[in-house]
Amino acid sequence: MPPLSRRRALASGLSALLAGVAGCSSAPTNGTDDPPATRTESPPDGDGGGGETGTGTGTGGDGPNLADARVAAESVAAGFVSPVDFFAPAGTDRRFVVDQPGVVYEVTANGRRDAPYLDLREQVVDIGGYDERGLLGVAPHPEFADNGRLYVRYSAPRREGTPRDYSHTFVLSEFTVDPGARTVDGGRERTLLELPEPQSNHNAGSVGFGPDGLLYVGTGDGGGGGDRGTGHVADWYDAVDGGNGQDVTENLLGSILRLDVDSRDGDRPYGIPADNPLVGRDGLDEQYAWGFRNPWRFSFDTRDGNNWDLYVADVGQSEYEEVSVVERGGNYGWNVREGTHCYGAGECPTTTPDGDPLVDPVIEYPHSGDGATGISVIGGYVVRGGALSGTGLAGAYLFADWRSNGRLFAADPASETTPWPVTEVPITGDGAPGSFVTAFGRDGEDLFVLSTGARGLNDRTGALHRLVAP
Residue 196 near residue 166 (C-beta atoms within 8 A): yes
pLDDT in tens, 253-293: 999 999 999 999 999 999 999 999 999 999 999 999 999 99
Exposed, middle or buried, 178 (CB in 10 Å: 0-12/13-18/19+)?
exposed
Residue 100 near residue 129 (C-beta atoms within 8 A): no
Averaged pLDDT for residues 164-180: 96
How far, rounded to the nearest angstrom, does the alpha carbon of residue 137 sit from its chain's CA centroid? 9
Residue 97 near residue 82 (C-beta atoms within 8 A): no
Please give the pLDDT value at position 33: 47
Strands (E), 199-265: 207-209, 215-219, 255-259
Quickly list H helices, 120-210: 144-147
pLDDT in tens, 185-205: 877 999 999 999 999 999 999
Closest C-alpha to 12, from 388, 408, 331, 332: 331
Averaged pLDDT for residues 299-321: 93
Q: Report DSSP letters for 22-66, one per residue.
A: --TTTSPP-TTS------EE-PPSS-SSSSSEEE-SS--TT---G
CB-based contacts of 56, cutoff 8 Å, min separation 6: 301, 302, 303, 304, 382, 384, 385, 395, 445
pLDDT in tens, 45-87: 333 333 355 544 343 446 899 999 999 999 999 999 999 999 9
Is the CA virtual torsion 127, 128, 133, 135 positive or negative?
Answer: positive
Please give the pLDDT value at position 58: 40
Lowest-pLDDT choice from 110-119, 225-234, 424-433: 424-433
pTM of the model: 0.89
Please give the pLDDT value at position 185: 82
Q: Report the chain's mean pLDDT, rounded to a whole number.
A: 88
Averaged pLDDT for residues 147-171: 97
Backbone angles phi, psi at 154, to 5 degrees: -145, 165
* Residue 30 confidence class, pLDDT cut points 50, 70, 90: low
For 453, other C-beta atoms within 10 Å of its C-beta total 16
- Assigned superfamily of 40-64+88-372: TolB, C-terminal domain (2.120.10.30)
Please give the pLDDT value at position 422: 97
Could you tell me if residue 9 is left (phi over 0), alpha (psi between -120 and 50 degrees) or otherwise beta? Answer: beta
pLDDT in tens, 318-360: 999 999 999 999 999 999 999 999 999 999 999 999 999 999 9
Domain boundaries, the chain: 40-64+88-372
Dist. CA 78–CA 74, nearest whole Å = 11
Dist. CA 254–CA 250, nearest whole Å = 11
pLDDT in tens, 372-397: 999 999 999 999 989 999 999 999 99
Please give the pLDDT value at position 21: 30
DSSP annotation of 293 reads S
